[in-house]
Structure 1
Amino acid sequence: MIFPAMDLMDGGCVRLLKGDFAARTNYATDPIEVANNYASAGAEWMHIVDLDGAKNGQAEQSDLILKIANSADIKVQTGGGLRDLAQIKRLLEGGVNRVVIGSLAVTNPQMVKHWLRDVGPDAICLALDVNQGEDGEFRPATKGWTEASNKTIWDVIGDYLGSGLKTILVTDIGRDGMQTGGNIDLYKRIQSEFPSLDLISSGGVGTLDHVRDLKAIDPYGIIIGKALYEGAFTLPEAIQC
């Protein structure tokens, strides 16, 4: 399943290169119009990131995200700066289908496990945005990709086994926005070690061949952002390839 991505800052659509807020591209498009276009093109879901929230540690684009969720015939998963259950329930009760928890999934797993029990596993996706270290291991970055964790991705995911966790989203930061292809080896290892989880891949898609490579390993979802914004291919082409 293709998840077209929308990154929001200051009420508009943007993209970052490798998560660098200084390497930001602004797109002169209306977020609600973009969401409606995705729905018309055949997408069942879209992925929205509140980058202001991710950077500042407090959800800042929730009103706009709720407006998008209620204006387009498409399911919405969203994250960025979600820090408490009240914020999460406001989004879920307001029309968002699934929230994405990033930094806290790494830094406060007990709280996130409590949320999983409270709102149910279908309503929460863990987002692990990872960098590969000199030792070859992948470790999550937190706080809008500005801080590194000492835990490996395998430590973090393994700690959630038995918690009811159902869906994970993994981004290779080194490939994000580069359009050089997804990290197939990493995703295959995740699928092998955690076969009970639904994996959404993110980062690196730049061509239809990249989409085909990811579809070949059959993840639950594939997030595509920059390639769609910049016209490398169309959403219907990605869905049908």
Structure 2
Amino acid sequence: MIYPAIDLMDGGCVRLFKGDFDLRTNYDGAPTDVAASFAKAGAKWVHIVDLDGARTENAAQTDLIIEIAKSTPINVQTGGGIRNADQIAKLLNGGVSRVVLGSIAVTDPLTVMSWMDKFGADKFCLAFDVHINEAGVARPALKGWTQSASTDLLSIIKRYSAYDYGALLVTDIAKDGVLLGPNVELYRNLLARFPNAPLITSGGVGKLDDVKALKSLSPYGIIIGKALYENKFTLEEAITCSPSE
């Protein structure tokens, strides 16, 4: 399934280059209109990131995200700066289908697990934006991608193995916003290690062949952002294309 992405800053649609807040591109179009266009093109889900919230660790775009969820016929998966149960309840009650938890899923797993028990694990997407070191070890990034966790990605995923969460999102930060191809090997290895994980890939898609390569892995979902905004291909093409052989 294709998840077109909307990254929000200051109420508008933006994209970052390798997660750098200083390397930001602004795009025209109200976020509600962009989400509506995705739905019209055939997308069933949209992935929305509150970048202001991610940077400050305090959700800032909640009302706009709820407006999108209520005004467009598309399932909304969203995160960024979510730090308490009240924020989660507001989003879910406002029509959001799935809440994305990133840094806090690394730094405070017991709290996250308590939220899963409270709201239902299927209401959550665990999102890990990773730096990959020279040894090939992936470690989640923290604090708006400015720090790396001491615990490796595989160990963190295992920690949540008892929960039937809605999705597992992994982004290779080095690929994000670059349009030079996704880290297919990373996702292939993760699916081999965790074959039942509802893995959503993210980062690096720059052409339709990248989408086909990812589809060949049969992931749960594929997030596409900048390539759509830069008109590298259409959302309809991404949804309907066949996996590469």
| TM-score (norm: length of structure 2) | 0.97
- RMSD value, Cα: 0.8
Correspondence 1:110 to 2:110: yes
Q: CA deviation at 1:56?
A: 0.2
Residues of 2 paired with 1:8 and 1:100: CA distance?
A: 14
* TM-superposition CA deviations, 1:64-108 (whole Å, max 9, x none): 000001111100000000000110011001100000000001000
Structure 1 residues without counterparts, runs of 5 or longer? none
1:68 equivalent in structure 2:
68
1:228 equivalent in structure 2:
228
Q: CA deviation at 1:121?
A: 1.7
Q: CA deviation at 1:117?
A: 1.1
Q: CA deviation at 1:166?
A: 4.2
* TM-superposition CA deviations, 1:41-69 (whole Å, max 9, x none): 00000000000000000000000000001
1:88 equivalent in structure 2:
88
Do the aligned residues in 2 keep the contact of 1:166 with 1:197 (CA within 8 Å)? no
1:14 equivalent in structure 2:
14
Residues of 1 paired with 2:166 and 2:41: CA distance?
A: 27
* TM-superposition CA deviations, 1:194-230 (whole Å, max 9, x none): 1221000000000000000000000010000000001
Q: CA deviation at 1:165?
A: 3.0
Amino acid at match of 2:12: G
Residues of 2 paired with 1:134 and 1:221: CA distance?
A: 27
Do the aligned residues in 2 keep the contact of 1:117 with 1:164 (CA within 8 Å)? no
* SS, match of residue 112 in structure 2: helix
Residues of 2 paired with 1:236 and 1:117: CA distance?
A: 37
Residues of 2 paired with 1:126 and 1:180: CA distance?
A: 25
Amino acid at match of 1:106: V
Correspondence 1:154 to 2:136: no
Identity of aligned residues (%): 56
Question: Please, which moves more after superposition, 163-172 or 30-39?
Answer: 163-172
* TM-superposition CA deviations, 1:101-143 (whole Å, max 9, x none): 0000100011111111111121000000001112220100011
| TM-score (norm: length of structure 1) | 0.98
Structure 1 segments, 4+ long, off by >6 Å, are none
* SS, match of residue 24 in structure 2: strand
* SS, match of residue 32 in structure 2: helix
